Chain A
């Protein structure tokens, strides 16, 4: 069972939900795919950490072979190449490592070499494995890091903490997920962002449910959206200064409060049941 936790915007509570679900499960794996700023490890505090580097390919030019035909410059979708008479310039941070330039070069002047774009740390918290991907500052894409990180997905139970938004990184993150939890705030902006990730899960044919977070009295546009789309509401977390305080001290709610421990145990059960049902459909 692989469960991804996502949201259309940052700060809705993806990591709060992910780390508490993983902690309450006490087994399986937690995967922090928010490679631009992973922070799940601050809560789960894993030990026995093993670190590996993630590399990506980059083109390197041999100017003795380059005749300045510019096939590579014109072909590059990302504009990572420029040609000044006598010099082919390659911008590594813009390059997406697609390999097209190397493939097309009529004089085989381009070759690919490896370069480090990030790191992966894998550790343990009791029976739970904790996996964290980190992208180096200035890199254009963390997709290769997420790919590598998710190679160790645990089929029994994996909680996948997604980056915010609905772009390439999120696509890669939910590609292997059996079920998606969409965390949403009770604002119009929150509902619009919920709609974006909901559409993404539909395009990718992933079953999904909403977890309403920071809920107060009054109208909740995200709840209205969920009801309109007959999207399953998995649970509702209140706007609670206690949660904010514990969270800002990197504490796990499920270890500090019986009320929240019960909430996340029930949420986990609900999600597993929903995902099991969805798999049978």
Chain B
């Protein structure tokens, strides 16, 4: 399984970014290879549509699950259409959140906020 997590810094010890679409990095973790990579989020500087672009980029990386605090409805629609599971992050490091995905202790994220600028 491949997991994506919005990251403030390029480190497994980093905190999760509170924003999905405007997170500076994403941690992409492959549970079979036990490998993590950090990718820059090119959508971060967009004046609009950042959530859609970020979601598209993660879909293209063929992720199976996203762990995040919050998500806009446009990005949510892209991810759910691509059948990607969205889990609610807990306020711990990225490594701790990965561990919680593996022992199935994260809940699904059921609420999304309206997408677009200044509406979240």
B105: chain A residues within 8 A (beta carbon): none
Q: Would you call B44 an interface residue if the criterion is a C-beta within 8 Å of the partner chain's C-beta atoms?
A: no
Considering the chains assembled together, what is the distance between the CA atoms of A94 and B82 in angstroms?
20
- Distance, CA A93 to CA B116, complexed state (A): 8
A82 to B53 Cα, complex, angstroms = 7
A85 proximity list for chain B (CB < 8 A): 82
Question: Which B residues are CB-close (under 8 A) to A73?
Answer: 56
- What residues of B have a CB within 8 angstroms of the CB of A218 in the complex? none
| Beta-carbon contact of A83 and B49 below 8 Å | no
State the interface size on chain A (CB cutoff 8 A): 17
Which of A81, A84, A87, A138 is B116 in contact with, Cβ under 8 Å? A138
Per the bound structure, the CA–CA distance linking A73 and B59 in Å amounts to: 13
Query: Do most interface residues of chain B lie in helix, strand or loop, or is the interface mixed?
Result: helix
Q: Which residues of B contact A83 (CB under 8 A)?
A: 56
Say which residue of A80, A138, A140 sits within 8 Å of B52 (CB atoms).
A80
Quick check: A80 and B81 within 8 Å, CB to CB? Answer: no
Closest CB in chain B relative to A142 CB, distance in Å = 14
Q: Max chain B CB contacts within 10 Å: which of A79, A81, A138?
A: A79
A-B contact pairs, 16 of them (CB 8 A): A79-B43, A79-B49, A79-B50, A79-B53, A79-B56, A81-B52, A82-B52, A82-B59, A83-B56, A87-B81, A89-B77, A91-B52, A93-B74, A93-B115, A94-B49, A138-B114
